[in-house]
Amino acid sequence: MITAIRDIKQKIKDFRTNSLTIGFVPTMGALHEGHLSLVHQAKKENDRVVVSIFVNPLQFGRNEDFSKYPRTLERDCELLSGVGADVVFQPEPSEMYPPGFCTTVAVERLEEKLCGKSRPGHFRGVAVVVLKLLHLVSPDIAYFGQKDFQQTVVIKRMVSDLCVDVAIKVLPIIRDARGLALSSRNAYLSETEKVDALCLYQSLTKAQSMVKSGVFNARKIIMEMEKIICAGRSASIDYISIVHPETLEDTPEARSGNVVAVAVRIGKTRLIDNIILS
């Protein structure tokens, strides 16, 4: 495991000296099969795989769960060793953000949609840390999960706008047997709340079935989704939106390729999920 910026730079230099391709999987730890699926894909497509574990303070707002966010470093390293990750980069916040650090990265318009409405500044924190990690690791391909769909759109736009020489690959959501999207924050849920949380995926599959049956009016679809989610005893809706996959603008008519995105609080835990209509 590498913790210092100078050491990860040297390791990457060694890889490049030997003409090795690099795949990169940035994470905040508390790893699950969703993260490991990204590592598996990176192993297939690259000579070396670097995984970062960094709970990024810049993307947590006031009264959010930075201090409580699950940290399972020893277990994470065991899992990564088991799937063949070559390097784990686990810097401290003081290493990434030394005294005097004052740079931000704004991906305007995109950062204000969906989760950005209730988490102001979140995506600026995401953009800063991802851009810095991409510069440090200089991967050929960086891998992200579709569950954080807005994050992937923001990162793709940032990489394109700033001419960062990396390919961004987004891989499908990994779900448990009942359909709940895997998330580090699922650890906060009680068993009863995990059952209630199934309403997210149930509402998304309802949207998909309505479109397949010829119902395209976004408002009608959202109303049916609301009924499903509100039936959950501990569920409260942050947002339900049907959006364009690149601009994240709401669309009045749901069509193939649009994204249905939801954010729902189950008890005190905020969960997100989405589906790409087909």
Give the catalytic positions in this structure. Answer: 35
Q: Where do we find the tokens 């499908």? A: 172
Q: Where do we find the tokens 């049907």? A: 242
Q: Where do we find the tokens 């709940």? A: 180
Helix (H, G, I), strand (E, B) or coil at 239: strand
The pair of structure tokens assigned to 231 is 């039936």
The pair of structure tokens assigned to 189 is 């849920």
Q: Of 43, 40, 47, 66, which Cα lies nearest the Cα of 55?
A: 66
Q: How far is CA 221 from CA 179, 180, 196, 242, in A?
A: 20, 20, 20, 9
How far apart CA 159 and CA 156 sit, in angstroms, is: 5
Assign 3-class secondary structure to 4-59: CHHHHHHHHHHHHHCCCCEEEEEECCCCCHHHHHHHHHHHHHCCEEEEEECCCHHH
How far apart CA 273 and CA 258 sit, in angstroms, is: 14
The DSSP 8-state label assigned to residue 30 in this structure reads S
The DSSP 8-state label assigned to residue 172 in this structure reads P
